[in-house]
Structure 1
Amino acid sequence: MPSTETAKPHVLALFRIVTGVLFACHGAAALFGILGGAVGTHGGTVPTGVWPYWYAAVIQLVGGALVALGLGTRIAALISSGSMAYAYFTVHAKMALWPLQNGGEAAALYSWVFLLIVFTGPGAWALDALFSGRRRNTAEVATA
């Protein structure tokens, strides 16, 4: 079991990075028409300012990038989780009860995955650790 405990921060980091990159790709597709474009637009983009789709795409791009980098991870993951819960309940749940029936599997999974990241933290290789390490070292030097 000790080997799994030592690997845990690195596996969490990989999980966070892959999730963040995939989520950011959704936002980039919707905002810039890359990677196949926004869902349902056949390669197009979401018009600027259209509620809630454009705002969701911005959250996906920025939130996904922040989570992938490990910068403000818990806050970015909380906002991303909430946006996906909102998407699920306002768009998908109206059509049918189960995600498999209403096409909301991705929204439901992202919501829960980002909530997990809120509670587990970024793991290893996060930029947050770099910045908090600098602050801690500066405080230690100041007291010495």
Structure 2
Amino acid sequence: MLPLRRFPALPDAGLLVGRIVVGVIFVAHGWQKLTDQGHSAVAQSFEHLGIPMPGLAAVYGTWVELLGGIALIAGVLVPVAGVLIALDMAGAFWYVHMDKGLFSQEGGYEYVLVLGAVCLLFALTGGGRFSLDALLFERRRAGAPERESVSA
């Protein structure tokens, strides 16, 4: 097996692939909530599931999934998007899937657990070098003057 340091871009390429795949999943779910169902239908569904403040939760879930998915794909504000989506998945786990066991075919939590964990991974690692975050923040670092050390 070749060490990763011989191919330093591989972890960043992995983050890119993961961000795109997970981002597409969340864009699709957010878009479905927005267009197929609408906020009122999502809120009714959330109320039926016993989710507190179902109207606010519907707005949060719809827009965090849609905009957070776009942010993951583009690689912009990845830590923020990762945390917000992980919280969305924590809510789905707690209010919908927790009592149904692990397996998703039985309504269980394996799907939301994986998605939430991956988004938390993105929040903790960032988007990698193939992201808008890296492009924007590298420009800032490159343009920032270095501080001179002051000796006492």
TM-score by length of 2: 0.74
The structure with the greater share of residues assigned to helix is 2
**2:14: which partner in 1?**
11
Are residues 1:45 and 2:32 paired? no
SS in 1 for 2:130: coil
TM-score by length of 1: 0.77
* Counterpart pick for 1:89 among 72, 84, 94: 94
Aligned pair count? 132
How far apart in 2 are the matches of 1:138 and 1:56?
Answer: 38
* Counterpart pick for 1:70 among 67, 71, 75: 75
Say whether the 8 Å CA contact 1:92–1:103 is kept in structure 2. yes
SS in 2 for 1:47: helix
Post-superposition offset of 1:136: 1.7
Task: Give 1:1-144 correspondences, 5 Å limit.
Answer: 1-2=2-3, 3=6, 5-33=8-36, 44-47=37-40, 50=43, 51=54, 52-94=57-99, 96-100=100-104, 101-140=106-145
Say whether the 8 Å CA contact 1:20–1:63 is kept in structure 2. yes
> Alignment RMSD, CA only?
2.5
Post-superposition offset of 1:123: 1.7
Change beyond 3 A, Cα 1:99–1:57: farther
Q: Deviations for 1:53-102, whole angstroms, at most 9, x for unmatched residues?
A: 332111100111111111110111011011101111111223x2324333
Say whether the 8 Å CA contact 2:129–2:135 is kept in structure 1. no
Post-superposition offset of 1:127: 0.6
Say whether the 8 Å CA contact 1:27–1:58 is kept in structure 2. yes
Q: Indicate the structure (1 or 2) with the bigger Cα radius of gyration.
A: 2
